[in-house]
Structure formats: structure tokens, C-alpha cells
């Protein structure tokens, strides 16, 4: 497991734990949640929707990944690709296949590309795409520039 896979898995688990804690404390007010959002939990809280809280009874509710509201699974397991095939990055073989498709998409687009541009073409979750792009950077296939939403990936 690469360090990027580990980080993605930890972020997913932190989000799940936060949802569980929120469900255990229904007496929290919106003002209290707003105060929490100003701290370390802010980015996690901003990724949680009301439907996550309403429908989270052991099922994995959809996660809002991107500003456009693209939905993905709360787990890093199988999600659907744009072509309808499963995107499964839980296994080494699955990650290799996904990374190969990522590289093909970046090559096809040409020039600097954003993670969201790649995700629109390949599918999968935001975390799966970013983890794959980071694996390709580690492998020397890609480089990157910028930060946050301005991050762009380039062929090496």
C-alpha cells in the first residue's frame, strides 16, 4: 500500500467516524457545528451532507467530492467508471489497471489537466483519482504544479 493509499484510507475512515459521532450526538446545534467547522474538522464537515446523516444506517451514503456535486462512495472500494465498469482500487491489480487508464486519459487530454477533468473521463471517486495521480507522480510518469483546486498534472 503506497503512502497515498494509506492517506486516502485514513481520510475516508475519519469521515466515517465523524458521521458516526454526529449521529450519536443529535442534540448538536447548527451554531455548534459551525464552530466545529472553523477548526481541524472543517474540511471533513464540509464533505458531509444531510442525506449522509439521514441515510447512514450501516450503508455507505454518497459523498460529495467536487464542487460540482459529483457523488462517490464513502468507501474507497468499487465505484462506477464513466463507461459503467467497476473502479476498484482495493487490490494491487485494480490500482495498476486504474493507474494505466489514468495515464491514458492524461495523455489523451494533453497539456496540464486537473483531477476533475480526469475524473469526468474516467469515473471513480475524487479520492481514487487523486491517489492514482499521486502514484503516477511517485512512479515518475507525471509531474504537478499548483495547489488545491489549481493543481495541474503534466506528463513527464
Q: Which CATH number describes the domain made up of 79-155? A: 1.10.10.10
Using one digit for the tens of pLDDT, what is the confidence trace for 51-87? 777 754 433 333 333 334 444 333 444 555 555 456 7
In the chain, the N- to C-terminal Cα span, in Å, equals 23
Report pLDDT digits (tens) over 85-102.
567 788 888 999 999 999
Helix, strand, coil abundance in the chain, percent, nearest 5: 55, 10, 35
Q: What is the pLDDT of residues 5-39, one digit of tens each?
A: 777 778 878 888 888 888 888 888 888 888 888 88
pTM for the model:
0.50
What is the per-residue pLDDT across 101-152, written as a single tens digit (0 to 9) for each? Answer: 999 999 999 889 999 999 999 988 889 999 999 999 999 999 999 988 889 9
- Domain spans of the chain? 3-72, 79-155
pLDDT at 81: 59
Task: Please count the other Cβ atoms lying within 10 Å of the Cβ belonging to residue 37.
Answer: 13
Between the alpha carbon of residue 39 and those of residues 36, 42, 44, 49, 103, the distances in Å are 6, 6, 10, 18, 36
Amino acid at each position: 500500500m503506497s503512502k497515498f493509499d494509506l492517506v486516502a484510507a485514513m481520510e475516508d475512515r475519519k469521515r466515517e467516524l465523524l458521521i458516526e459521532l454526529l449521529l450519536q450526538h443529535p442534540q448538536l446545534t447548527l451554531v455548534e457545528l459551525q464552530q466545529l467547522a472553523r477548526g481541524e474538522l472543517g474540511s471533513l464537515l464540509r464533505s458531509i451532507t444531510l442525506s449522509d446523516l439521514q441515510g447512514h444506517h450501516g450503508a455507505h451514503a454518497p459523498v460529495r467530492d467536487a464542487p460540482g456535486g459529483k457523488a462517490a462512495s464513502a468507501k474507497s472500494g468499487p465505484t462506477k467508471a464513466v463507461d459503467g465498469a467497476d473502479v476498484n482500487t482495493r487490490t494491487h491489480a485494480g490500482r495498476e489497471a486504474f493507474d494505466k487508464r489514468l495515464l491514458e486519459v492524461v495523455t489523451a487530454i494533453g497539456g496540464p489537466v486537473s483531477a476533475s477533468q480526469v475524473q469526468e473521463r474516467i469515473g471513480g471517486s475524487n479520492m481514487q483519482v487523486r491517489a492514482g495521480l499521486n502514484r503516477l507522480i511517485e512512479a515518475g510518469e507525471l509531474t504537478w504544479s499548483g495547489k488545491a483546486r489549481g493543481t495541474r498534472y503534466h506528463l513527464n
